[in-house]
Structure 1
Amino acid sequence: MNYDAMMPRDPFADDPNDPASFLDPEEPAPPLENDERAAIVEDLRLVRECQAKLTPRGMRGILFLCEDCDEWHYYDWEIMAANMQATLDGKLAAVHEPSAEPDVHAYVPWDYALGYLDGMEAR
């Protein structure tokens, strides 16, 4: 799915006075170490497995308590996968806005999702 097409047009696109153009360019992220890359590849596999097995059961994604703002954040499976893939590709994750009023009952902690998968495989 192309999430860029779902984003509103940048109001400063093609503007030579774009305020962001006056900022120093960001340093590129250092390349991933082999063990970091392997861990992300495994997490991406698990996110896709969670999406396939948990979405039909009404679980739309992951929630976590943000340490910076002390609020719950909700991420759909697709956003999680896209963020991980961007990291593997050496890119920054696309900016996204969370749903204004997410169904908080449709999101689960990562450990719960992994435990659910383990339980399904144990049957």
Structure 2
Amino acid sequence: MPLDPFADDPNDPASFLEPDEEFPPLSIDERAHILEDLTLLEKFQVALEPRGILGIFFYCEDCDEPHYYNWEIMKDNMRSLLGGQQSPVHEPSAQPDINAYVPWDYCLGYLDGLDAHKS
């Protein structure tokens, strides 16, 4: 994981949040879903990274902006969830190359296309 840029900063924005609550354990179904998504994410990376795609973006309804996550950040977030921890909040950079990120559904469609081509 990248170092926390606010480590030891008395003005850390997170210091104004409530202390972390206990993270409820995942259900068997939730755990299976995350494991499935992690497997898909690894396949996405293998198929798309050689073509210049660096990761996934999601549209955030809270801030009305897209959020860009590279492959490793996404995998780390999923592993955190599987380990019973809340995912850390971070993005690859302040100004990512938006052309190097695609939505999750694009990745699914890309894999489906590869599979259809093999048949």
Same fold (TM over 0.5): yes
1:75 match: secondary structure: strand
Q: CA RMSD in A?
A: 2.1
- Taking the aligned partners of 2:108 and 2:74, their CA distance within structure 1 comes to 14
TM-score normalised by length of structure 1: 0.82
Hey, what does 2:68 align to over in structure 1? Answer: 74
Determine which of 91, 99, 105 is the counterpart of 1:105. Answer: 99
Gapped regions of structure 1 (runs ≥ 5): 14-18
2:29 match: secondary structure: helix
| 1:10-53 residue CA offsets vs partner (Å, 9 max, x unmatched) | 1249xxxxx94x97532211111111100000000001111111
1:96 match: secondary structure: coil
Gapped regions of structure 2 (runs ≥ 5): none
- Specify whether residues 24 and 106 from structure 1 end up closer, same or farther in structure 2 by C-alpha distance, changes over 3 A only: closer
- Taking the aligned partners of 1:38 and 1:103, their CA distance within structure 2 comes to 32
TM-score normalised by length of structure 2: 0.84
Say how many residue pairs are matched.
114
Larger Rg, first or second structure (1 or 2): 1
